[in-house]
Amino acid sequence: MSEVLLIRQRIIESIQQAAIQAQQSGKLPGIPLPEISVERPQKAEHGDYATSLPLKLARSTGQNPLIIAKNIAAFISCNAEIADVTIAPPGFINFTLSKEWLIKQVNNILLQGNKYGDIDYGHGKYVQIEFVSANPTGPLHVGHGRGAVLGSTLANVLKSAGFKVQKEFYINDAGNQILAFTRSLFARYQQCLDIDVEMPAEGYFGSYMTDLAKEIIENCGDKFIKMPSVEAEAELGQLGLDKMIARIKESLELLGVRFDQWFSERSLYKNGQYDKAISILRQNGYIADKESATWFVSTALGEDKDSVVVRSDGTPTYFATDIAYHYNKFIERKFDRVIDIWGADHQGHVSRMEAVVGALGINPKRLKVIISQLVTLRRGGELVRISKRSGDMITLSEVIEEVGVDACRFFFLCRSADSQMDFDLELAKKESQDNPVYYIQYANARISSILRLAEEKGIDFTDGDISLLTGETELTLIRKMLLLPEIIELIANSLEPHHLTYYSQDLATIFHSFYKQCRVVTDDPDTTRARLKLVASAKLVLSKTLHLMGMTIPDRM
C-alpha cells in the first residue's frame, strides 16, 4: 500500500483511539462514534489533514465543538510522522506532517519508479470497461473521441488502482442499421459503375460511402454486379463492414486507444447466449407476450414502461441483444464489475438496463453506466455538423490531425463526463501556444534539461542527501507529489478521470514555481545532489500522471 494512504489510515486510527480515551476519561459523553474520516484542507495553514469529527459530535453530545476538539486532541500525540496537531474554529482538528517524513518520501518515490502512485484499492477485482462501441456504419466523430479518451484513461487509472481491467468495443454488426448500410453501399457501388439506381431513403448519404464504394471497385472490380443481388449484398456488406471497422481502429489508434477485445453482437446469436438470457428472464417472470410482440416487463421493477424485446415480425430489438450481452458479461465471463460508457442519446436506456441486470439475478450495483454528454463541434464559434447520415461531417481523425493527440486527449478529459462541452477547433489551435498541455509538458522538458545538464557535468546523485530539502518551496513540491495516490483512489472511486487534468496542472505550476526559486545545479555539490533527487522524483510523478492520461511526455519541445 502507498505510504501516504497508510499514514492517512494511521491518523484516522489515532483520532478514533483519542475519542475513545476522551470518553473513558469522562471528557466526552459515551455515545457511539460516527465513522471517522479525514480530508485534505484547502488552505496550507490548516495542515495536511483535518477531521471535522468534533463538529459532527456537537449535537449528540450537547458540547461546544471547539471544546470537543480540544478534549480529543489532548489524547493525540505527535510522533516521527505527525509534527503538529492543532484545533481550529469552528471545531476542526488539523494535522501537519513532519518535514522528516515528507522528505523521506522522495527516496520512496524514486524507489518505486514508474509504479509510484499505484495502490491496492481494487484487490485484483476484474473490471470490464466497454466504450465507444460506435455503429460500424460510419467514421467516428468527436463524441466518440470523448468516450474513447474517458474510457481509456479510466482503464489506465483502474489498473493503477489495483484492478484487473479489460477494455472492450461492442460491434453492432446485427440489426437494421447494418441492412441500411449494406443497401447504401450497394447503391453507391452501382452508381460508381454508372448504373442508375437510387439510394435507399433511410440510407447513409455521407461522402465516405462513395469513397468506400470506389475503394472496393479498385480492389474487386465490378464482380458484385455480376452476382445474384442477394449474394452480392451479403458479401459486399461484410466487406464494407470490415473496412469500416478497420477505419474505426485506425482513428482510435491515432488517439492512442487500443481495445483488448472487439466483441461481435452477432456472436450472441450464434452461440445461443441470446436464447439463454431471454429464457432466464422468462423463468424469473419478467417476459410477457402481448400485442403479438415479446416484452420485458420493466414495470414490475419500477420502470414506467415495458420494453419490446422481440418485435411482432419476430426479429429481436437491439435491447434484446443488450440483454444477452450483459448476461454474457456477468454470467458467462464473470466480470466483478462492468462499466459501460454511453453517449447522451442513450441515457433513457440506463435505468432499463439496470433493471434487466437485476432481473437476471445479478446485483445491479455491479453495473455502472457513465453517460458522456454531447460534444458540439465549432469552428470559430460556428456550429459544425457531425451527423453521420447527412453529407457534411468532420471525423474524429480530422480533428486529431488538426489539433494534435495530446491536446485532443487533454481537452476531452478536462471536463466531467456529465457536463456538455463545446469543442472549438479554432480555439483549440489558437490556444495551443498558451495551452495547459504545453505548460505541463514544458515542466517535464525543463526537468529533463536539468537532468541532462547534470549528466553532462558528470554529477552522480544516487547518494544525494535528501535531508537538505527543508525549504518551504521544496516541501510544497513534495506535498503535491504525494497527492497522486489519493487522486488515483479518488478516480477509482468516483470514476471521474477529469481530476487528473487538474492535478497535472497543479503539479506543473508548483514545479515551475520551484524552478524559479530554487536553482538545482549550483556550486554547492550537496544541495545540487539533493535537489537532483527531488527533480528526478518530480519527473517520475509528472510522467506517471501524463501516462495515465495517455499523453506523450517529450523531454525536449
Partner RNA sequence: GCGCUUGUAGCUCAACUGGAUAGAGCGCAGCCCUGCGGAGGCUGAGGUUGUGGGUUCAAAUCCCACCAAGCGCGCCA
Contact (Cβ atoms closer than 8 angstroms) between residue 255 and residue 144: no
Which residue lies nearer to RNA by CB, 202 or 211? 202
Helix (H, G, I), strand (E, B) or coil at 534: helix
Sheet with 92-97: list strands edge to edge.
49-51, 92-97, 82-88
Least distance to RNA, CB of residue 254, Å: 21
Q: What's 39's DSSP letter?
A: B
| Alpha-helical segments (H) within 335-471 | 350-359, 396-403, 405-413, 425-430, 436-456
Number of residues that bind RNA (CB under 7 A): 95
CB closer to RNA, 37 vs 279: 37
**337-343/126-130 β-pairing:** parallel
The binder of RNA chosen from 226, 270, 334, 556 (CB under 7 A): 556
Distance of CA 92 to the CA centre of its chain: 33
User: Considering beta carbons, is residue 255 or 417 the nearer one to RNA?
Assistant: 417
Residue 342 backbone dihedrals phi, psi, to 5 degrees = -120, 160
Choice between 1 and 557, CB closer to RNA: 557
3 state SS for 240-301: HHHHHHHHHHHHHHHCCCCCCEEEECCHHHHCCHHHHHHHHHHHCCCEEEECCEEEECHHHH
Cis-peptide into 90, omega within 30 deg: yes
**Site track 177-216 with RNA (rule: CB under 7 A), x = hit:** x---------------------------------------
Q: Residue 396: what are its φ and ψ, rounded to 5°?
A: -60, -45
Among 96-104, 109-117, 151-159, 340-348, the segment contacting RNA (CB under 7 A): 340-348
Enumerate residues 99-128 that contact RNA by CB under 7 A. none
Judged by CB under 7 A, the stretch of 99-107, 120-128, 184-192, 349-357 that binds RNA is 349-357
Our CB check for RNA shows the closer of 271 and 419 to be 419
**To the nearest whole angstrom, how small is the minimum distance from the Cβ of residue 225 to RNA?**
28
Identify which of 253, 238, 216 has the alpha carbon closest to the alpha carbon of residue 140.
Answer: 253
Which residues have a Cβ under 8 Å from the Cβ of 200 and sit 6 or more positions away?
A: 180, 183, 184, 187
- In the complex, least distance from residue 194 CB atom to RNA, rounded to whole angstroms: 31
Q: Do the Cβ atoms of 346 and 373 come closer than 8 Å?
A: no
When the beta carbons of 42 and 462 are compared against RNA, the nearer one is: 42
CB of 26 or CB of 458, closer to RNA: 458
The residue (of 261 and 522) whose beta carbon lies closer to RNA is 522
Near RNA in 32-91, by CB under 7 A: 37, 39-43, 46-47, 50, 52, 55-56, 58-59, 65, 88, 90-91
Q: How many CA atoms lie within 13 A of 403 on its CB side?
A: 29
Q: In angstroms, rounded to a whole number, what is the distance separating the alpha carbons of residues 261 and 338?
A: 14
CB of 509 to RNA, least distance (A): 5
To the nearest whole angstrom, how small is the minimum distance from the Cβ of residue 214 to RNA? 26
Please identify which residue in 115, 311, 365, 385 interacts with RNA, judged by CB under 7 A: 311
Amino acid at 290: K
- Please list every residue from 355 through 394 that binds RNA, using CB under 7 A: 371, 373-374
345 binds RNA (CB under 7 A): yes
Residue from 284, 419, 467, 470 in contact with RNA (CB under 7 A): 419
Which residues fall within 8 angstroms of residue 410, CB to CB, at 6 or more apart? 435, 436, 437, 501, 549, 551
Q: Give 310-368 as a DSSP string.
A: E-TTSPBPHHHHHHHHHHIIIIIS--SEEEEEEEGGGGGGHHHHHHHHHHTTS-GGGEE
Binding piece for RNA, criterion CB under 7 A, among 146-154, 278-286, 310-318, 462-470:
310-318
Which residues within the stretch 493-552 sit at the binding site for RNA (CB under 7 A)?
A: 493-494, 496, 498-499, 502, 505, 509, 512-513, 515-522
> Residue 302 CB, nearest distance to RNA (Å)?
11
CB of 94 to RNA, least distance (A): 5
Residue choice 79, 176, 229, 279 for contact with RNA (CB under 7 A):
176
The single residue among 94, 153, 166, 190 that binds RNA, judged by CB under 7 A, is 94
Give the Cα separation of 49 and 105 in Å (integer). Answer: 17
Which residue lies nearer to RNA by CB, 216 or 329? 329
Please, which residue, 135 or 267, has the CB nearer to RNA? 135
Name which of residues 428 to 467 contact RNA (CB under 7 A).
431, 433-434, 436, 438-439, 442, 445-446, 448-450, 453
Quick count: other Cβ atoms within 10 Å of Cβ 143?
24
Binder of RNA out of 160, 184, 190, 317 (CB under 7 A) = 317
Among 416, 426, 547, 552, binds RNA (CB under 7 A): 416
Asked whether the beta carbons of 245 and 263 are under 8 A apart, the reply is no
CA distance 94 to 197: 77
Residue 31 binding RNA, by CB under 7 A: no
At residue 261, what are phi and psi to the nearest 5 degrees? -145, 135
Q: Does 308 bind RNA (CB under 7 A)?
A: yes
Q: Would you say 133 or 190 has its CB closer to RNA? A: 133
CB 46 within 8 A of CB 78: no
Q: If DSSP codes are grouped into helix, strand and coil, which group holds residue 88?
A: strand
Q: Kindly write out the interface string for residues 264-293 of this chain, putting x where it contacts RNA by CB under 7 A and - elsewhere.
A: ---------------------------xxx
Identify whether the C-beta of residue 137 lies closer than 8 Å to the C-beta of residue 244. Answer: yes
Binding residue (CB under 7 A) for RNA from 226, 270, 305, 334: 305
Q: How far is the CB of 376 from RNA (least distance, A)?
A: 8
Q: Which is nearer to RNA, 210 or 432 (CB)?
A: 432
Ranges within 145-164 binding RNA (CB under 7 A): none
Query: Diameter of the chain by CA atoms?
Result: 96
β-sheet with 307-310: strand ranges across? 287-290, 293-296, 307-310
Specify the residue, 192 or 518, whose C-beta has the smaller distance to RNA.
Answer: 518
The least distance separating RNA from the CB of residue 546, rounded to whole angstroms, comes to 15
